[in-house]
């Protein structure tokens, strides 16, 4: 059966249109023959995710990104709506699954589906909305890691700059001259130390003979001590005998006598404290003490009066004279005589 040129041209054109339609759908992420499961997710930011990007599960491509739309009237705070297809019929999305926009490699981005390790049979149905999450891309991670380092480097460079400026300010002509002068002083000091070392060496050489003589004298002294060892031993023995004699002296009798005397004194003091004996009565009897004091005062007044006016107490009779003074009877004269005899010379 022969076809005309017009029919052949029409068939070729129809095939080209079909190939074009399928090609456009394929580029959009759809399968050639359709039947893909469509899911949706909302994000705060698209992360510049291109359409027809791969959708992966554990690194395996299972679908394509279909649309990336900005939804200003979205009921949720996330305004970016992304639809994606699952072209693998074996992939099921259980509850707990979430979608992440991330880097698949250094140059490309895609959707990464995270399926929980333990899940129930309750799966998301096609047309459902899955939770979305925007991951930090590699450049953002590098920037977040490099920013603190960059700030530290800037701070360090500023510190180095200040240090260089300080060194430059210090390292002027005056500082250079001062350092040179200090180095000269160090050189002079080293030379002086060398001279001192030479003098010390000469001194040691000169005094070496004298030191040898001193050591020889010390050796002679030790020999003499060794020879006198027996005499020293005898002296030490004599000292030991003298110390033994001192220890064996009658110190015990002296101590016993002293203890007896102290006991007698303590006994007298105890009786006095108890008011026994004359001394005890005198110490404890205030009346006796007061009477003695009063008698002493009266006696003193009597003696003073006798010294001033003896004629009052002694009768002196002269021929043709009158008797003067106080007349005393025999008893009074006897008391006065006893009192005068008791007075100290």
* DSSP string for residues in 225-258: HHHTHHHHHHHHHHHHHHHHHHHHSSHHHHHHHH
Shared domain check, 302 and 264: no
Rounded CA gap, 75 and 6, in Å?
55
Q: Is the per-residue pLDDT at 305 higher than 80? A: no
Q: What is the mean pLDDT of residues 191-212?
A: 76
Shared domain check, 270 and 331: no
Shared domain check, 333 and 267: no
Shared domain check, 298 and 255: no
Counting residues of the chain whose pLDDT is more than 70, the rounded percentage is 72
In the chain, how long is the greatest CA-to-CA distance?
226
Shared domain check, 270 and 301: no
Q: Which two tokens stand for residue 295?
A: 């008698």
pLDDT tens-digit profile of 214-253?
777 778 878 877 777 777 777 777 777 766 665 565 666 7
Which comes out higher in pLDDT, residue 243 or 202?
A: 202
**Ramachandran assignment for 196, one of left (phi > 0), alpha (psi -120 to 50 degrees), beta (any other):** alpha
Residue 149 belongs to some domain of the structure: no
pLDDT the model gives residue 81: 92
Shared domain check, 273 and 307: no
82, 108, 135: which is the final residue of a domain? 135
- The residue segments making up the domain with residue 87 are 35-135
pLDDT tens-digit profile of 113-159?
999 988 777 899 999 999 998 876 555 666 666 778 888 888 888 88
For residue 35, the 8-state DSSP code is -
Q: What are phi and psi of 34, to 5 degrees?
A: 75, -165
Residue 2 belongs to some domain of the structure: no
pLDDT the model gives residue 318: 44
Closest to 303 measured CA to CA, from 288, 313, 292, 315: 313
Residue 50 belongs to some domain of the structure: yes
pLDDT the model gives residue 98: 93
Helix 229-248, helix 173-227: angle, nearest 10: 80
How many domains does one find in the chain? 3
pLDDT the model gives residue 244: 65
Shared domain check, 124 and 72: yes
Rounded CA gap, 259 and 253, in Å?
10
Closest to 135 measured CA to CA, from 118, 113, 155, 119: 113
Q: How many residues does the chain have?
A: 345
Quick check: helix, strand or coil at residue 130? strand
Counting residues of the chain whose pLDDT is more than 90, the rounded percentage is 14
Alpha carbon of 42 to those of 82, 125, 132, 181, 321: distances in Å?
Answer: 6, 17, 6, 78, 167
Q: Is the per-residue pLDDT at 29 higher than 60? A: no
pLDDT category of residue 68 using cuts at 50, 70 and 90: very high
pLDDT the model gives residue 313: 62
Residue 333 belongs to some domain of the structure: yes
Residue 151 belongs to some domain of the structure: no
Shared domain check, 127 and 45: yes
Closest to 36 measured CA to CA, from 112, 99, 83, 89: 89
pLDDT tens-digit profile of 6-21?
777 877 887 888 777 6
Q: Which residues pair with 37 in a beta bridge?
A: 86
């Amino acid at each position: 059966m022969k076809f005309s040129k017009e029919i052949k041209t029409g068939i070729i054109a129809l095939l080209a249109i079909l190939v074009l339609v399928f090609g456009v759908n394929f580029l959009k992420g759809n399968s050639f023959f359709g039947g893909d499961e469509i899911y949706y997710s909302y994000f705060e930011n698209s992360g510049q995710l291109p359409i027809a990007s791969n959708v992966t599960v554990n690194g395996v491509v299972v679908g394509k990104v279909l649309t990336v739309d900005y939804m200003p009237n979205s009921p949720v705070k996330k305004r970016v709506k992304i639809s994606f297809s699952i072209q693998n019929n074996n992939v099921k999305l259980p509850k707990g699954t979430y979608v992440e926009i991330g880097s698949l490699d250094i140059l490309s981005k895609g959707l990464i589906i995270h399926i929980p390790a333990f899940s129930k049979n309750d799966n998301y149905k096609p047309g459902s909305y899955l939770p979305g999450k925007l991951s930090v891309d590699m450049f953002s991670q590098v920037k977040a890691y490099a920013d603190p380092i960059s700030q530290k480097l800037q701070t360090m460079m500023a510190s180095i700059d200040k240090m260089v400026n300080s060194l430059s300010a210090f390292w002027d002509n005056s500082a250079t001259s001062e350092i040179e002068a200090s180095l000269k002083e160090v050189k002079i000091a080293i030379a002086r130390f060398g001279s001192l070392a030479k003098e010390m060496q000469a001194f040691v050489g000169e005094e070496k003979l004298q030191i040898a003589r001193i050591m020889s004298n010390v050796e002679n002294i030790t020999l003499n001590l060794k020879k006198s060892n027996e005499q020293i031993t005898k002296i030490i023995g004599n000292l030991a005998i003298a110390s033994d004699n001192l220890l064996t002296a009658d110190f015990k009798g002296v101590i016993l006598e002293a203890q007896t005397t102290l006991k007698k004194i303590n006994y007298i003091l105890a009786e006095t404290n108890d008011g026994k004996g004359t001394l005890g009565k005198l110490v404890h009897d205030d009346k006796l003490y007061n009477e003695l004091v009063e008698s002493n005062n009266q006696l003193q007044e009597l003696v003073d009066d006798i010294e001033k006016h003896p004629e009052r107490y002694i009768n002196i009779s002269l021929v043709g004279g009158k008797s003067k003074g106080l007349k005393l009877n025999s008893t009074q004269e006897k008391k006065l005589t006893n009192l005068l005899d008791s007075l100290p010379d």
